[in-house]
Copies of this chain bind each other. A is one copy, B any other.
Amino acid sequence: MYKAPVEEIAFTLNHVAGLADAVEIGRFGDLSSDLVNAILDEAGRFATNEIAPLGEIGDKQGARLIDGEVKTPDGWPELYRHWREGGWNGLTAPEAFGGQHLPHMLNVAALEMWNSASMAFALAPTLTMGAIEALVAHGSDALKGKYLEKMVSGEWTGTMNLTEPHAGSDLGVLKTRAERRGDGTYRIFGQKIFITWGEHDAADNIVHLVLARLPDAPAGTRGISLFLVPKFLVDDDGSLGARNDVFCHSIEHKLGIHGAPTCTMIYGDGRFHPENGEEKGAIGWLIGEENKGLACMFTMMNNARLAVGMQGVAIAEAATQKAVAYAHERTQGRAPGWTGEGKRGDMSPIIEHPDIAGTLITMKALTQGARAICYACAYAIDMSHHTEGDEARHWSERAALLTPVAKSFATDIGVEVASLGIQVHGGMGFIEETGAARYLRDARIAPIYEGTNGIQAIDLVTRKLPLSSGEQVRGFIGELKEIAESVAASNDTAFGESGDRLRAAVFALEAATNWLLEVQADGRSADALAGATPYQRLFGLTLTGCYLAKGALVDIGDGGTEKRVALCRFMAENLLAETSALKDRVISGAASLEAARAILA
């Protein structure tokens, strides 16, 4: 069973991502390290003791659509109520609406724990937090006053309605219609698919944020507006009124996250049309300006993508814990050098076998690296909110740069680590009761939604590398070089070849980065795009190596154990060599890709 790794999370937040220093200098007001620790401890306790035990039933039973109502798994409505009563939904929300206005870093760390315990459950608040963020940034005072307090408390949940059958990655072609009503409201008509927690029985009201197109809107992405469409209309005194004309038509039968209802939502087809002669359609209120809906969405995109990255970290952590526990318990064969030591007869625990040990250490290295990348991204987001002028722009760019790497690398390794976890379990890993298979099934959606990892790579290469004419990424690579040099200069033999390997990885990242900036400056976008996915992986692996090294340097500086150094060394000497291959692929892969396209004809 999952146990929240609070100590590891705190170390990474504080010493790798930079929270401790920021708290020390008062960057986050009166936030103290004691409060940080108390919050992490309590989140860990809740995730471990309350969510995790209900994760399996959520998977087994799944969400069910019964007579148009969605029933979540047994115990989940109560679990959700306990969770929101703990105040977890409003960690980062404005105090004016009942939130605690804490740094995103803390929320991201908490999200990791909720998702490790049950990704399907954690999706509900993840969506609500996104909706809150959009409303805070772009909603009118009237809308904020009516909705935010209940959403921040978690009494009402939120959803994001973007996808339509023909409009996934490409939102420019969506067809959901919005009509002006003349009284400041709108009527919404259309169908949205893949709406996570679109309908359920765990909250009194559901606040849908819906992208739709006005009749006179320009074509494409510049003609999309964002609307708030509540399940139940809200009266002026805040009480719930009539049912709005939106309902869940069906829920999907999915590979994983079974406990989370994935809904097809129908707006304005008349099922809940009032009998009082009103016009048809689901009643909606505009968020932000007409035709600027996509911009409203983008303001929350960084956080949402980072939240999905946390799902990758979370699953990797949980899968690793389970595999390590099994490998200590299960005995089979006799590892080289195994003497038994009177422990359990002739057979070794399988963790003694080099292949199993190497697999588990790989899982640990990738998990801790992905965690550090995501937390570093959260740090940049927080810093962008707590600084001003050029400094704020710098941190905002840093967050923008790190977001696609955090989302893609963490979700890719989430799938890899979950798959390795099954492998460590042998035949038992394939049996659903064991629980290892659930991690792979749940993990597999994360590289897809909130922008596929292919889309993230395009974003990274075409929009993020050119920030400040490439100076943002170059400056960041400069920081990574310093880490590599510090390791090389440390004279600690326990680092082995880490210094050289880190240097080589950072140089590979730099060479690939420069090449991508150059070819794009030359207008060779197809060449750049061909290398985008291997580049993204190169970025993530190099960051993993550097962040493990950063943690190790802090640890030995503090007289800690050699465990972080050993993990850094394992990463550097086993997994970083791939960076050279990835760099080659970025730079020389495009020609062979073009030549091979004929194969697909």
Which of these, B332, B445, B496, B497, contacts A430 with CB under 8 Å? B445
**Does A597 touch B at the CB level, under 8 Å?**
yes
Apart from A253-B431, A358-B589: 14 A-B pairs, beta carbons within 8 A: A166-B331, A255-B430, A336-B526, A355-B454, A355-B458, A355-B533, A423-B452, A426-B448, A429-B448, A567-B596, A572-B592, A573-B585, A574-B589, A577-B585
**Does A494 touch B at the CB level, under 8 Å?**
yes
Residues of B contacting A319 in the complex (Cβ-Cβ under 8 angstroms): none
**Does A102 touch B at the CB level, under 8 Å?**
no
B360 near A441: Cβ-Cβ < 8 Å: no
**Does A595 touch B at the CB level, under 8 Å?**
yes
Q: Binary interface profile of A, 169-197, with partner B (CB < 8 Å = 1, else 0)? A: 11001000000000000000000011000
B529 near A336: Cβ-Cβ < 8 Å: yes
Q: Is the interface of A mostly helix, strand, loop or mixed?
A: helix
**Does A584 touch B at the CB level, under 8 Å?**
yes
**Does A126 touch B at the CB level, under 8 Å?**
no
> Interface size on A (CB < 8 Å)?
97
Q: What are 28 of the A-B contact pairs (CB < 8 Å)?
A: A163-B427, A169-B333, A252-B431, A255-B422, A328-B600, A336-B526, A336-B529, A351-B600, A353-B454, A354-B529, A354-B590, A357-B600, A358-B530, A358-B589, A358-B593, A423-B452, A423-B454, A426-B448, A426-B452, A429-B448, A437-B444, A566-B598, A569-B596, A570-B595, A570-B596, A572-B592, A573-B589, A577-B582
B445 near A337: Cβ-Cβ < 8 Å: no
> Quick one: which of A252-273 are within 8 Å of B by CB?
252-256
Which of these, B168, B255, B449, B578, contacts A437 with CB under 8 Å? B255
**Does A230 touch B at the CB level, under 8 Å?**
no
In the bound complex, CA of A535 to CA of B227 (Å): 56
Closest CB in chain B relative to A344 CB, distance in Å: 11
Which of these, B355, B419, B447, B597, contacts A357 with CB under 8 Å? B597
In the bound complex, CA of A422 to CA of B452 (Å): 11
Closest CB in chain B relative to A249 CB, distance in Å: 15
**Does A387 touch B at the CB level, under 8 Å?**
no
B592 near A529: Cβ-Cβ < 8 Å: no
**Does A347 touch B at the CB level, under 8 Å?**
yes
Closest CB in chain B relative to A340 CB, distance in Å: 14
**Does A225 touch B at the CB level, under 8 Å?**
no
Q: List chain A positions with a Cβ less than 8 A from chain B.
A: 163, 166, 168-170, 173, 193-194, 252-256, 324, 327-328, 331-333, 336-337, 346-347, 351, 353-361, 364, 415, 419, 422-423, 426-427, 429-433, 437, 440-441, 444-445, 447-449, 452-454, 457-458, 494, 496-497, 525-526, 529-530, 532-534, 561-563, 566-567, 569-570, 572-574, 577-578, 580-582, 584-585, 588-593, 595-600
B599 near A364: Cβ-Cβ < 8 Å: yes
B255 near A441: Cβ-Cβ < 8 Å: yes
Which of these, B347, B530, B532, B577, contacts A580 with CB under 8 Å? B577
B447 near A427: Cβ-Cβ < 8 Å: no
Which of these, B337, B427, B454, B599, contacts A448 with CB under 8 Å? B427
In the bound complex, CA of A600 to CA of B346 (Å): 21
Which of these, B328, B359, B562, contacts A598 with CB under 8 Å? B562
In the complex, what residue of chain B is closest to A581 when comparing beta carbons? B577
In the complex, what residue of chain B is closest to A589 when comparing beta carbons? B574
In the bound complex, CA of A357 to CA of B590 (Å): 11
In the complex, what residue of chain B is closest to A165 when comparing beta carbons? B428
In the bound complex, CA of A250 to CA of B584 (Å): 52
A599 near B430: Cβ-Cβ < 8 Å: no
Residues of B contacting A590 in the complex (Cβ-Cβ under 8 angstroms): 354
In the complex, what residue of chain B is closest to A60 when comparing beta carbons? B253
In the complex, what residue of chain B is closest to A332 when comparing beta carbons? B170
A569 near B598: Cβ-Cβ < 8 Å: no
In the complex, what residue of chain B is closest to A529 when comparing beta carbons? B354
Closest CB in chain B relative to A257 CB, distance in Å: 9
B431 near A254: Cβ-Cβ < 8 Å: yes
